[in-house]
Amino acid sequence: MNAEQSQLSKAEDSLRVLAKKLFHYKTDEARNKANAFFSDYLERTLKLEGSFDYGFDSLTDIGKLKSPDASFKIYDWNIQREDGSMFYCGFIQHINAKTKKTELFTLVDKSSEIKNAESQSLDCKKWFGALYYKIIENRSGKNTYYTLLAWDGHNNQTWRKLIEVLWFDREGTPHFGETIFNMGKTPKKRIVFEFRAEMIMALKYNEEKKMIIFDNLAPESPEGKGIYENYVMDGSYNGLVFKKGKWQYIPDVNALNPKTRNDKFYEDPRGETTKKPNNLTSPPKTH
């Protein structure tokens, strides 16, 4: 192990201990103080030489995702407040295509202030916080879009699932949201599903079908329309496929791949939909 790897290994050990403590504090004041310390330590670690290629394999209490083209990594985690609501923290570590240097961007959760989220262009300083568990890379002309699937434990009444899009401008600055979702009457910059807390909504990418597949949500009764704690899965599924630079909506899809003799391509849409960190406030495993 060289000096660079040794430094990163020591930092990883410290971060692992700090993360485990962070998720066990009982008050907002204690959590906020611990989170500020953890976030600062992680930021300094991710600025170290060689950190982009370092796995941080033992740091299992936060989310870690690398893009399919290995051009960026996302680190994110959630903190539960005493009132049951969530806020999120994170970083994007990106290799600038022009300079070839690794750049670090802090994600600042402003989701509680964002109105009409499906129509808003956002950035790192105004981020719709969530835990990402899948990155899908699509190219359209000279543009590269990274579609992100995410979970948000919004509050005690409702949870949310999110289909977000991330892209980088010519200078290598990340942006969230782009009008590439043709779902509903008006094209959207992202898709937000909100439903009763503790329910397990399927939202996943089917590699064989090249399709995002998700549960259809509906209120339990007509009187519950627009009241999202009444929204549950109705047993049907919808999908999105990427065609001509857009995600095109397909209603009422067959969510299961046909079984083969050895079940090689069989996929249960209610299989695990999140690659979750192991902290106490992450989504439960899907059944």
Which tens digit of pLDDT belongs to each residue from 71-96? 999 999 999 999 999 999 999 999 99
CA dist list (Å): 230 to 32, 199, 217, 235: 32, 11, 10, 15
Residue 214's pLDDT band, with cuts at 50, 70 and 90, is very high
Beta-carbon contacts of residue 23 (< 8 Å; ≥ 6 apart): 61, 279, 280, 281
Domain count for the chain, please give it. Answer: 1
Angle (nearest 5°) at CA 111 between 148 and 240: 30
**Residue 5 maps to a domain:** no
- Cα 203 to Cα 182, 211, 268: the distances in Å are 17, 11, 12
pLDDT of amino acid 23 = 87
Regarding predicted confidence, which is higher, 187 or 268?
A: 187
Q: Does residue 254 belong to any structural domain of this protein?
A: yes
| Percent of residues, the chain, with pLDDT higher than 90 | 84
Residue 114: which pLDDT band, with cuts at 50, 70 and 90? Answer: very high
Q: Among residues of the chain, what percentage have pLDDT more than 70?
A: 89
Domain contains 266:
yes
Nearest by Cα to 124 from 111, 106, 110: 106
pLDDT at residue 227 greater than cutoff 80: yes
Q: What is the pLDDT of residue 254?
A: 86
> Who wins on pLDDT, 42 or 254?
42
Is 212 within a domain?
Answer: yes
Residue whose C-alpha is closest to residue 231's, from 218, 242, 240, 241? 218
Q: Pick from 52, 84, 40, 104: which is nearest to 281 by CA?
A: 84
Q: Is residue 214 part of a domain?
A: yes
Residue 41: inside a domain, yes or no? no
Of 13-22, 44-53, 86-95, 274-283, the poorest mean pLDDT is in 274-283
Per residue in 265-285, pLDDT (tens digit) is 334 444 444 434 444 444 544
Mean pLDDT (the chain, rounded): 90
Range of the domain at 125: 118-287
Looking at the domain assignment, is residue 270 inside a domain? Answer: yes
2, part of any domain: no
